[in-house]
């Protein structure tokens, strides 16, 4: 009997993953996954095309996105699932993110050049350009040995080439997801350090939280599973696979079962029958 496993969190080359959306589908099948959602940062450019690519291949898909947001000066990620692909609220917020990212990208390049580390502008268009693309270019130039080193020395908050860029609120991200008839989920709450931030997020109108994440131990996930059950929220999970920029995290290392996936799939089918992959 095939065990149903759906990875609900991964990134393609439309954002900072190193595999294309088609390669992600192929890898999901090779890894024995039966469900998948690609959740690129601030873009849905993989959809609806990847749904057609995956159709009939044995891996069911639902649309997903991971919005970058700020709350009281701290970065928070908001996952959106099973939204309608014909609503405009998510694409319009994505367009604003794209402008924010383009501006920030050029400012970071200026900072790096001022530090004696010029890098060439990436020529091929990327829907959601981010710091990992810059880190990769820095490795190619020989300025750093790894993505981690690039972040640690230059790109992370508080480091010399960090640029915060324009900020979008968690509430705005929630509104866009709900206006697009999707379900909003707190991404990787395990990584949130501040207790007051967790408290704020848990009081917002989310529909779920990501209880199963990356390579966390069941013991570390227990707390979030309990909270989701207590609030009667959806309990989602995924690997946050990025390909070779995060080589220690394999696709499918965190996942949800059929029951959770079916809730999301039914939700999607209600409003987007035409775009539904089988």
148 binds, among Zn ion, ligand AMP, Fe ion, none (CB under 5 to 8 A by kind): ligand AMP
What 3-state DSSP class applies to 80? strand
Q: What is the DSSP letter of 204?
A: S
State which of residues 7, 16, 45, 272 lies at the interface with Zn ion (CB under 5 A).
16
* Distance set, CA 120 to CA 101, 130, 141, 144, 217 (Å): 17, 15, 9, 15, 40
Give the DSSP letter string of 85-141: TT-SHHHHHHHHHHHHHHHHHHHHHHHHHHTT---PPP-S--TT--HHHHHHHHHHH
The 13-32 contact track toward ligand AMP, x by CB under 6 A, reads ---x----------------
Please say which residue, 146 or 196, places its beta carbon nearer to ligand AMP: 146
CB of 243 to ligand AMP, least distance (A): 10
State which of residues 131, 181, 188, 271 lies at the interface with ligand AMP (CB under 6 A).
131
State which of residues 130, 182, 189, 238 lies at the interface with ligand AMP (CB under 6 A).
130
Please say whether the dihedral angle defined by the alpha carbons of residues 189, 66, 78 and 48, taken in this order, is positive or negative. Answer: negative
5 binds, among ligand AMP, Fe ion, Zn ion, none (CB under 5 to 8 A by kind): none
Please say which residue, 109 or 130, places its beta carbon nearer to Fe ion: 130
Q: Which residues inside 39-58 make contact with ligand AMP, applying CB under 6 A?
A: 41
147 binds ligand AMP (CB under 6 A): yes
| Cα end-to-end span (Å), the chain | 19
Q: Which residues inside 241-260 make contact with ligand AMP, applying CB under 6 A?
A: 242
Q: What is the DSSP letter of 256?
A: B
Residues 105-128: b if buried by 16+ CB within 10 A, e if exposed: beebbebbeeeebebeeeeeebbb
CB of 4 to Zn ion, least distance (A): 26
Name the token pair of 5.
């496993």
CB of 3 to Fe ion, least distance (A): 24
Find the part of the chain contacting Zn ion (CB under 5 A) among 9-17, 30-38, 96-104, 222-230: 9-17
Residues 177-206: b if buried by 16+ CB within 10 A, e if exposed: bbbbbbbbbbbbbeebeeeebbeebeeeeb
Residues recorded for the chain:
278
Please say which residue, 15 or 112, places its beta carbon nearer to Fe ion: 15
CB of 7 to Fe ion, least distance (A): 12
240 binds Fe ion (CB under 5 A): yes
Name the token pair of 190.
């395990």
Q: Which residues bind Zn ion (CB under 5 A)?
A: 16
Q: Which residues bind ligand AMP (CB under 6 A)?
A: 16, 41, 68, 130-132, 147-148, 151, 156, 242
Q: Which residues bind Fe ion (CB under 5 A)?
A: 66, 77, 187, 240
């Amino acid at each position: 009997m095939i065990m149903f496993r759906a990875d609900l969190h991964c990134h393609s080359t439309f954002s900072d993953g190193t595999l294309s959306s088609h390669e992600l589908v192929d890898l999901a099948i090779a890894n024995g996954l039966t469900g998948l959602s690609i959740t690129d940062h601030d873009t849905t450019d993989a959809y609806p095309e990847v749904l057609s690519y995956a159709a009939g291949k044995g891996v069911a898909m639902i649309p997903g996105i991971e919005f970058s947001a700020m709350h009281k000066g701290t970065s928070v990620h908001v996952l959106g699932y099973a939204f309608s692909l014909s609503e405009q609220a998510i694409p319009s917020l994505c367009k604003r993110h794209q402008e924010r990212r383009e501006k920030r990208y050029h400012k970071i390049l200026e900072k790096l050049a001022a530090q004696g580390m010029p890098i060439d502008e990436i020529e091929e268009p990327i829907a959601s350009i981010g710091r990992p693309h810059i880190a990769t270019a820095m490795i190619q130039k020989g300025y750093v040995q790894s993505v981690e080193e690039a972040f640690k020395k230059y790109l992370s908050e508080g480091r010399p080439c960090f640029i915060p860029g324009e900020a979008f609120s968690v509430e705005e991200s929630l509104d866009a997801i709900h206006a697009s008839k999707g379900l909003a989920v707190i991404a990787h709450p395990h990584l949130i350090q501040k207790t007051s931030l967790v408290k704020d997020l848990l009081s917002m109108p989310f529909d779920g939280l990501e209880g199963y994440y990356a390579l966390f131990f069941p013991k570390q996930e227990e707390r979030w599973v309990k909270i989701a059950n207590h609030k009667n929220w959806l309990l989602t999970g995924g690997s946050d696979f990025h390909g070779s920029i995060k080589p220690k995290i394999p696709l499918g290392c965190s996942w949800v079962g059929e029951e959770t996936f079916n809730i999301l799939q039914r939700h999607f089918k209600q409003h987007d029958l035409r775009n539904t992959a089988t």
